[in-house]
Amino acid sequence: MTPQTLPLFSASPGLQHTLTVLRFGTSGGPVATIQAALHADEVPALLVAQALRRQLTVLEAAGQLIGEVRLVPYANPIGLAQQVLARDQGRFDLRDGLNFNRGYADLSEAAATALAGRLGDDARTNVRLARAALRDAAAALTVQTPVQDLKRQLLQLAIDADVVLDLHCDSEAVLHLYAHTLQADLAHELGALLGAQAVLLAEESGDSPFDEACSRPGPALQKRFPAHPMPLPCFSTTVELRGEADTDHALAEADAAALIEFLRRRGIVAGAPAPLPVARCEPTLLAASEPVTAPRPGVVVFHAQPGEHIEVGQTVADIVDVDTGERLPLRAQSAGVLYARINTRWAVPGTRVAKIAGRTLVRTGKLLSA
């Protein structure tokens, strides 16, 4: 393991954040970038990153790493330092209120400009050139704030990788994934290894989250250069490691082992792959997922648990009016698995109380939570 410390842009005298990267294996082969807790206080991701660190150390000592694994054990040191009234605030930048996992640069156009006239008939060479162009485009991004620099450096660590695993968690949830529609097969495979109960697919979910900034350039370059063969250069996914309170050593070790098995199946870790477990779900479109939303303020009383299959019309939760005591039932519009719900029990109008992975709805616009 080779540790690396990357200083971030400092906007205040005497204050310096740094980003830690642990590099395993050797360069020259396939590459995986794994980062944990871009929303800072997603502690199950932080725990799985430590399990990965231990398991990758053993694999490296045994000469079992064919390529390179870049592990970012905490991807948001800025957010980790944010507390308001003794509560962690890792999802949004307190400077401007922006989500740490939104607004990543789309490098497709810059890479396409650099690749014009350079591609040929060899798919492997074209992928290599595309990754180099994307790497250069990420390095050329200008920054004026520490968060902009954090986003730039995270992209630099991931944009040329074969596999990008962005480890998160939800509030209260079962394990679920987000991935690009064109990479449904790989997302299904990873979901089977992890025991995911929802695999949600989209070409664009809105507001440019990190995983899409890594996966979006591949399809864009394929469309831009249809005469030149170019397999998608990067599989990128967001892995939601259940809920915020789901910290368990045995569970973290099992999750890390499943992620490493996925890398083995991608040729980054040596050895014959184990048989693929039976998947607990089939991929569904993120546009068909249902956010169950509170229309008014009140106390939330749930009738359904994460992982439960919901039928159309089933009551997911009640909103109890604190003036009248009236109970307003929130009923599902579609059938599917309730894969996440809030971990507070007070809602204001517009609160996404729960999320259901369905098949019948067709949503447009921004598909992710704020």
Q: Of 265, 284, 303, which one is at a domain's C-terminal end?
A: 284
Same domain, 84 and 8: yes
Question: For residues 148 and 48, what is the distance between their CA atoms, to the nearest angstrom?
Answer: 26
The answer to whether residues 6 and 24 belong to one domain is: yes
Q: Residue 138's pLDDT is what?
A: 97
Q: Tell me the pLDDT band of 256, cut-offs 50, 70 and 90.
A: very high
Q: Which of 238, 206, 219, 19 is nearest to 107 (CA)?
A: 219
The answer on 133 and 106 residing in a single domain is: yes
- Rounded CA-CA distance 130/234 in Å is 11
281 DSSP assignment: -
Final residue of a structural domain among 284, 299, 330: 284
pLDDT tens digits, 237-250: 999 999 999 999 99
What pLDDT, in 10s, does the model give residues 69-111? 999 999 999 999 999 998 899 999 999 999 999 999 999 999 9
- pLDDT for 355: 98
- pLDDT, tens digit (0-9, with 9 covering 90-100), for 279-299: 999 999 999 999 999 999 999
Residues 185 and 259 in one domain: yes
Q: Give the tokens for residue 185.
A: 């097969």
Task: Establish if 334 belongs to a structural domain.
Answer: yes
Statement to judge: residues 279 and 308 lie in one domain: no
Global pTM reads 0.97
Do 107 and 200 have their domain in common? Answer: yes
pLDDT at 58 over 90: yes
pLDDT tens across 303-327, in order? 999 999 999 999 999 999 999 999 9
Q: Which residues, 6+ apart, have CB-to-CB distance to 326 below 8 Å? A: 320
In whole angstroms, how far apart are CA 255 and each of 164, 169, 239, 249?
Answer: 16, 13, 10, 10
User: Which pLDDT band, with edges at 50, 70 and 90, does 52 fall under?
Assistant: very high
Are both 219 and 131 inside the same structural domain?
A: yes
Residue (of 333, 267, 210, 243) closest to 30 by Cα position: 267
Query: What confidence score (pLDDT) does residue 102 get?
Result: 97
369: in domain? no
Tokens representing 212? 């899409």
Check whether residue 280 and residue 317 sit in a common domain: no
Q: Which CATH number characterizes residue 343's domain? A: 2.40.50.100
Within-domain flag for 268: yes
The last residue of one of the domains, among 228, 253, 284, is 284
If asked whether residues 202 and 343 sit together in one domain, one would say no
The span from the CA of 99 to the CA of 77, in Å, is 14
Same domain, 58 and 196: yes
Where residue 213 sits, what CATH number does that domain have?
Answer: 3.40.630.10
How far is the CA of 367 from the CAs of 7, 81, 115, 252, 361, in angstroms?
33, 29, 32, 29, 12
177 is a domain residue: yes
pLDDT, average across residues 198-224: 96
Give the model's pLDDT for residue 369.
87
Residue 363 is assigned to a structural domain of this protein: no
Which residues are 310's β-sheet partners? 336
The total number of structural domains in the chain stands at 2
Give the pLDDT score at 370.
Answer: 79
Residue 365 lies in a domain: no
Return the axis-axis angle of helices 249-265 and 43-61, rounded to nearest 10°: 60
| Domain containing residue 158 | 2-284
Does 218 map to a domain? yes
CA–CA dist 89, 174 (Å, integer): 22
Q: Could you tell me which residues come within 8 angstroms of residue 58 by beta carbon, excluding any fewer than 6 positions away? A: none
The DSSP bridge partners found for residue 170 are: 243
Lowest mean pLDDT among 119-123, 127-131, 359-363: 359-363
With a cut of 90, say whether residue 11 has pLDDT above it: no
Question: Are 320 and 252 part of one and the same domain?
Answer: no
Q: Are residues 7 and 35 in the same domain?
A: yes
Q: Do the domain assignments include residue 67? A: yes
Could you report how far apart the first and last alpha carbons of the chain are, in Å? 36
